[in-house]
Amino acid sequence: MTDTLVTEVEQTVDAYLARSYGAERRLTLAECHGWDRAFLDEIDDLGWFALAVPESADGVGLPLSAVGAATMSLGRHLVPGPMVERLLLPALLLRHIDGSGPPRHDLPGAVVALVDPAANGTWSVDDDGVRVESGGLVGSMLPVRFGQEADQLLTVAESAGELAVYLLPPQTPGLDIEPVASADPTARLARVTFTEPAGAGITPVLTGSAAGRFVTELRAWARILAACELSGIATRLVEDTSAFVQVREQFGRPIGSFQAVKHTLADMYALARSLRNLCDAALEDAVSSSAEDLPMLAAVTKAYAAEAAVGVCESAIQMHGGAGFTTETDLHLYYKRALALRGWYGDHEELAHRIGDALLAGAGLAEPGDVS
């Protein structure tokens, strides 16, 4: 993907959001954790969800890195809702499955919730995991973003020592979806439980090595997109904080004139700018990376993003003084979103350990409990 195309996609998304998505609308959508069909239809009509969908499925056919460019702007404006679920999952799955009937024709435009135990990293207190037993699925997963609202649940399961990928409608017998409280202002969460076993007789869409390749790519792109969204958040908070310290006065002077504030802003800018450069490089390299190199590239990008963006958020809150610790501004929404993204598919500490282990062993990056 050329730099020009990345720039065009990002500028197009950013221009629309700057024009049509102000603070009042952001707050309204955050209060319902991003589930608003009218807003999603509005985004769908703009064609954003078709950016990386293959042309054979009536998509735009751009590389997956186009989704990264769009995701940076979504982070900058703190756009809630199942964005990654609609931008990435149908497009990626359509690149891995053959045929023209179900489930291919069900994917474009669908809200696909992701049921992947690796999404929680290693910090989950529940024994998450889904496995195949007696021809169906058993196990549970918490949390699942937009599990109750989804049209399909893309489920990664263990099957006899290998991976299998299922696409299940929420009405599947034995499938229980329970909403749970969410501190993430951009997402509704749910616990998904498979009993009976659920979905008995339903054929997986991918199995064996094909499922392994898909899941590897899925997890890598999920990490890269999380890093891109965190980059957008960090960039926005540097901009907002820079503007704030130039008008907020103390002792008759703008606080931005004080040396300590200048140093903090310089550190914030350095973190946000380096994260942006890293994301740009990752998007450029990811499309041509081998299956062995892509997971490491994604893990390094996400690990840096998780620490850098949260650091920028915390400095922004400090620079806003008392206003930064209240709901008076949108700072708390950006901070909560950054914290939620930090843990998604591994935070900086977990990923750093796994990157180090892989380098010392001279092997590829392993997922917790990975059977691939």
pTM: 0.94
Question: Do 66 and 186 share a domain, yes or no?
Answer: no
Question: Do 287 and 219 share a domain, yes or no?
Answer: yes
In a domain, 176, yes or no: yes
In a domain, 370, yes or no: no
Question: Do 214 and 356 share a domain, yes or no?
Answer: yes
User: What pLDDT digit, counting tens, does each position of 323-345 carry?
Assistant: 877 888 899 999 999 999 999 99
Question: Do 127 and 251 share a domain, yes or no?
Answer: no
| 339 neighbors 80 (Cβ within 8 angstroms) | no
CATH of the domain at 33: 1.10.540.10
In a domain, 267, yes or no: yes
CATH of the domain at 137: 2.40.110.10
User: What pLDDT digit, counting tens, does each position of 93-143 carry?
Assistant: 999 987 665 667 778 778 999 999 889 865 554 556 899 998 899 999 988
| 332 neighbors 354 (Cβ within 8 angstroms) | no
Question: Do 200 and 214 share a domain, yes or no?
Answer: no
Indicate the residue among 207, 238, 269 that finishes a domain.
207
Indicate the residue among 166, 192, 207 that finishes a domain.
207
Burial class (CB in 10 A: 0-12, 13-18, 19+), 56: exposed
Question: Do 191 and 224 share a domain, yes or no?
Answer: no
Start-to-end C-alpha separation, the chain: 29
Residues in the chain, how many? Answer: 372
The parent domain of residue 125 ranges over 112-207
User: What pLDDT digit, counting tens, does each position of 293-325 carry?
Assistant: 999 999 999 999 999 999 999 999 999 997 877
Indicate the residue among 187, 207, 227 that finishes a domain.
207
Question: Do 126 and 91 share a domain, yes or no?
Answer: no
Question: Do 270 and 338 share a domain, yes or no?
Answer: yes
- Closest C-alpha among 101, 88, 82, 197 to residue 151: 82
In a domain, 107, yes or no: no
